[in-house]
């Protein structure tokens, strides 16, 4: 972060942070650079605490307070599912207008790697790293090559 902290306002168009810790840094950097903060929470302390089993340790109050600050500061909150969006709104009082659902995944209509190309790329990468061309691994279903 130090390497980028000296950038002047206007160098970046926006800042996207993930999880709580990077959200804290993102909030400060976005303010410094005068850019919007987009944040994806992924896991939320209040949601985890609401579903604790008997004897489980709750998430620390400092994490809850920090996540609340991030939600309040973010210009846009990205949720992976509609349920996650509802949790941001219910547990953190997020503004529904600033919450957008973006489902994770790959659009296979656009991104379709051909098997031969993938295997050739993997072999080339292993060669560059000085690894043998194949590696045998064990899994619950038997032995396979990667």
Q: What is the pLDDT of residues 12-49, one digit of tens each?
A: 899 999 998 899 999 998 998 899 999 999 999 999 99
* Confidence band for 101, pLDDT divided at 50, 70 and 90: very high
pLDDT tens for each residue of 79-90: 999 999 999 999
Candidate from 30-34, 60-64, 137-141 with smallest mean pLDDT: 137-141
Contact between residue 82 and residue 59 where contact means Cβ atoms under 8 Å apart? no
Q: What are the angstrom distances between the C-alpha of 136 and each of 7, 121, 133, 142, 144?
A: 46, 18, 10, 10, 6
Cα–Cα distances in angstroms (integers) from residue 4 to residues 11, 12, 25, 29, in the given order: 10, 10, 12, 9
Only one residue has tokens 């846009």, namely: 76
Out of 25-34, 55-64, 124-133, give the one with best mean pLDDT.
55-64
């Amino acid at each position: 972060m130090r390497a980028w902290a000296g950038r002047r306002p206007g160098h970046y168009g926006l800042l996207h942070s993930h999880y709580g810790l990077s959200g804290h840094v993102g909030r400060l950097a976005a303010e410094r650079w005068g850019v919007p903060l987009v944040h994806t929470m992924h896991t939320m302390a209040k949601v985890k605490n609401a579903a604790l089993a008997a004897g489980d340790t709750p998430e620390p109050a400092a994490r809850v307070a920090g996540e609340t600050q991030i939600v309040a500061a973010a210009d846009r909150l990205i949720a992976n599912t509609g349920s996650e969006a509802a949790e941001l709104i219910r547990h953190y009082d997020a503004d529904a207008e600033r919450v957008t659902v973006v489902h994770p995944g790959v659009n296979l209509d656009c991104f379709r790697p051909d098997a031969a190309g993938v295997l050739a790329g993997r072999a080339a990468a292993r060669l560059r790293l000085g690894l043998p061309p194949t590696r045998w691994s064990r899994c619950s279903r038997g032995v396979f090559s990667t």
